[in-house]
């Protein structure tokens, strides 16, 4: 009886894997997933900072120092 349960378990596992694979392929086809290619080798990063009242000048001075370091390493800040 033990081998009968092992066979049923294997069958159930194989069915689950096959169902998952079919569902994944159908979802990819239905959502038209395709590879996105970049036009260049640039990367953009958006960082949002929230400053407490009265602390904005200190935050700005940090960015002034940081922009010099970024320029030294070829990182162009655009905003």
Residue-averaged pLDDT of the chain: 79
> What is the pLDDT, as a whole number, of residue 29?
72
Helices (H) and strands (E) in the chain, counts: 2, 0
| 34 confidence band (pLDDT: 50, 70, 90) | low
| 54 confidence band (pLDDT: 50, 70, 90) | very high
- The full DSSP string for 44-65 is ---------TT-HHHHHHHHHH
> What is the pLDDT, as a whole number, of residue 4?
60
Two structure tokens written together for 3: 């081998």
Under DSSP, the state recorded for 11 is: H
Residues composing the chain:
79
pLDDT at 77 exceeding the cut of 60: yes
> What is the pLDDT, as a whole number, of residue 40?
78
């Amino acid at each position: 009886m033990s081998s009968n349960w092992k066979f049923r378990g294997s069958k159930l596992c194989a069915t689950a894997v096959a169902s998952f694979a079919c569902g994944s392929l159908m979802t990819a086809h239905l959502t038209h997933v395709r590879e996105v290619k970049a036009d260049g080798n640039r990367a953009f990063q958006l960082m949002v900072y929230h400053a407490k009242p009265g602390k904005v000048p200190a935050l700005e001075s940090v960015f002034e120092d940081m922009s010099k370091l970024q320029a030294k390493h070829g990182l162009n800040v655009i905003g």
